[in-house]
Amino acid sequence: MSQKSSLYRTIEILKHLNEGKKLCVTQLSQIYEVSDRTIRRDFELIRELFGDFMSKEGECYQAYKKVLLEEVLSATDLMTLANIVNIFGITSKESVISDKTQALIKKSMSVYDFKSRPFENMKNREVIKQLEHAIKFNKEVKIVYRTERFVGKRNFHPYKILFLNENFYIVGENVSKSKFEFLRISLVDEVIATKKTFFVHKDMTDFIKRIQTPWAVFGRDETTVRLRVDSSIRRYFILKKYLPSQEVVAHFDNGDIEVQYKVSNLKELEELVIKWLPKIRVMYPRPLKKLVKKSLEKKLKGLLNSH
């Protein structure tokens, strides 16, 4: 069996513990082709995150109560769905969500309350409907787009509505400039239908599948980024992918880990690195270090000049 990521391994171990299986360090290290020390660290992390729910006998572990993983994941998905319904202002009459799903959403909301929610309020439901129709039938549209500096029009081939960084975007080709573009839906004033249809380009659909942030650049080769994460915060990176391409590629004796990302724009990782400083270090590439340094200097200058 080929070596799997630490996240995948941890989830599998939790699943087996939930099934009541007795798991031994040496056996697991052979299955996953890692050291005994790595497996012991996995169990330590599981206990740290989920509390004392398993007993230890020699080098073997067994759970005496279950960790409710499936229920949490299910409720998370339902809450996300509920948020989308609320954001777009879909009434019960307009909703395409079944009564059964609505009941599940209501039940989950009696237990969970997600404070980190999209702050955009999609009041213009007509814009959403027109974009949905254009995407479904490959229809070219004319978009009136308003920012703080200007109001402009562009002929647009809409490919997909994406939710990124707590904002909704319509992504596709700006026909007027022959380039791929991200447009904030909340800034779209009007969508004007045309009689033209467009051919979907595979390179654009493939790029959309790989998009991780609004700063992704179409047509640019991906760059590999490696970050060293301090042992005191490694659990957050092991149990959460901050970008879909995140992969744990190394474990160090002091408990640190090395994570790897593939991005088309270094700016995609600038915010993440700044958030976790000084517990995180940029190992590669050097230009990311310069980008973060420049950004921090700019923020500090702005803070000092604010008085």
Query: What value does the mean pLDDT of the chain take?
Result: 83
Q: What is the pLDDT of residue 64?
A: 82
Q: Supply the pLDDT for residue 277.
A: 95
- pLDDT per residue as tens digits for the range 251-273: 999 999 999 999 999 999 999 99
- Residue 158's nearest CA partner among 126, 183, 195 is 183
The C-alpha atoms of residue 197 and residue 144 are separated, in whole angstroms, by 19
Please give the distance of CA 196 from its chain centroid, rounded to a whole number. Answer: 34
Question: Is it the case that residue 37 has pLDDT exceeding 60?
Answer: yes
Q: Give me the pLDDT at residue 80, please.
A: 60
Q: What is the pLDDT of residue 71?
A: 45
Q: Domains in the chain, please, with CATH?
A: 6-63 (1.10.10), 70-109 (no CATH), 125-205 (2.30.30.520), 223-304 (3.30.70)
| Residue 2 pLDDT exceeds 50 | no
The listed range with the strongest mean pLDDT (1-5, 46-50, 87-91, 103-107) is 46-50
Which of 170, 198, 205 has its CA nearest to residue 184?
170
Query: CA 158 to CA 160: how far, in whole Å?
Result: 6
Q: How confident is the model at residue 92 (pLDDT cuts 50, 70, 90)?
A: very low
